[in-house]
Chain A
């Protein structure tokens, strides 16, 4: 059986193959992260940067015992990635420290640019939605935003450590609040 990517791969492994084992482990973990974040516009460059940092940290940590690298469980790689991501975020913020507080758009979301009437219409509607969201209960608003951003109910449930029915219930109420608030502004979604 070709089931040799876990601890199996460490048995009788030549020293020069430790890097191969690590690369396999890193590539798999990085691809999983990209797959999760792809739907939510996670920047692939950020993932690459994190795993480059993970690579360096693991090599440093096991400099004297490289034979242990191939025995690392996936959980160790993810834990290191998590720590590396936090450091990366901190460094990114430090680099931006001199900049003024941005009034910025996310890439690809430059609503209202140009003279496309459709884009202007979308931008006006988006502004109304944002204002209407302000009337939704704060405890529901984050979940409603996640839904509108395209996160599915299971992702929301995972994040909040809730059951999916609980998310569905809260979302139902939150969206109902939002529709009412939009209705007061004369907006009927889909209409």
Chain B
């Protein structure tokens, strides 16, 4: 057996006794999983939490929620969905290519505008429908005066790969957002100063 594994196996079989000292409050556990506070304090706290039969399950609950949120928003695509991405990508590429060909042959290459019923709408600009995500990984739209926006990028399964609230009409994906090759869609919801929401029809975008 690998020495490290034998250590682990023995360690995990130990009877756990609550270590001396006070148990951290639930809020302190939350601060720990959020990496808030002084590092030295967090390391001491971690030692207690990992050794304590009371705190460990509580910590794991809070940590799992935090980690799941991070993965879901920044990276999240379940494994079983990943299996379908290549198939979805091929089908969508074929549909997208046909659509683009029809547009080039029969109509202008202007972006599709989807205005709200009252005329105050937003217009998605770049990338174009079925286009590829550029190297700058930017999305741009034309907004309404005084509006704030919510941007969402969804993978082929509809899982949010990245979302952000902002006042600007351009968003660039942070380097921390790793996208697997495939077909995604993006949408923007505008919140007008009146409190009303306006949205543009989502667009497909291909990530190589």
Residues of A bordering B, CB below 8 Å: 1-9, 11, 28-29, 31-37, 40-43, 46-47, 50, 71, 73-75, 78-79, 81-82, 85-86, 88-90, 92-93, 101-106, 109-112, 119, 122-123, 125-127, 129-130, 138-143, 145-150, 155, 158-161, 175, 178-179, 188-191
| Contact indicator per residue, chain B 1-23, by CB within 8 Å of chain A (1) or not (0) | 11111111111111111100001
Q: Which of B12, B13, B154 contacts A5 (CB 8 A)?
A: B154
Which of B14, B39, B67, B158 neighbours the largest number of chain A CB atoms within 10 Å of its CB?
Answer: B14
7 further A-B contacts with Cβ under 8 Å, apart from A29-B69, A41-B57, A142-B48, are A1-B95, A37-B64, A75-B69, A111-B15, A139-B40, A148-B7, A190-B4
Secondary structure at the A interface, as helix, strand, loop or mixed, is helix
- In the complex, A6→B152 CA distance in Å? 8
**Chain A interface: which of B71-79, B102-110, B119-127, B134-142?**
B71-79
Q: Are B150 and A138 in contact (CB under 8 A)?
A: no
Grouping DSSP codes into helix (H, G, I), strand (E, B) and loop, the B interface class, with mixed when no group exceeds half, is helix
The B1-58 residues at the A interface (CB cut-off 8 A) are 1-18, 23, 26-27, 29-30, 32-33, 35, 39-40, 42-51, 53-54, 56-58
Can you list 25 A-B contacts (CB < 8 A)? A3-B157, A3-B184, A3-B202, A6-B158, A7-B187, A8-B158, A32-B72, A33-B64, A36-B67, A37-B60, A40-B64, A42-B61, A50-B61, A50-B65, A75-B69, A78-B66, A78-B73, A82-B65, A103-B18, A106-B16, A106-B57, A111-B13, A149-B8, A149-B11, A159-B33
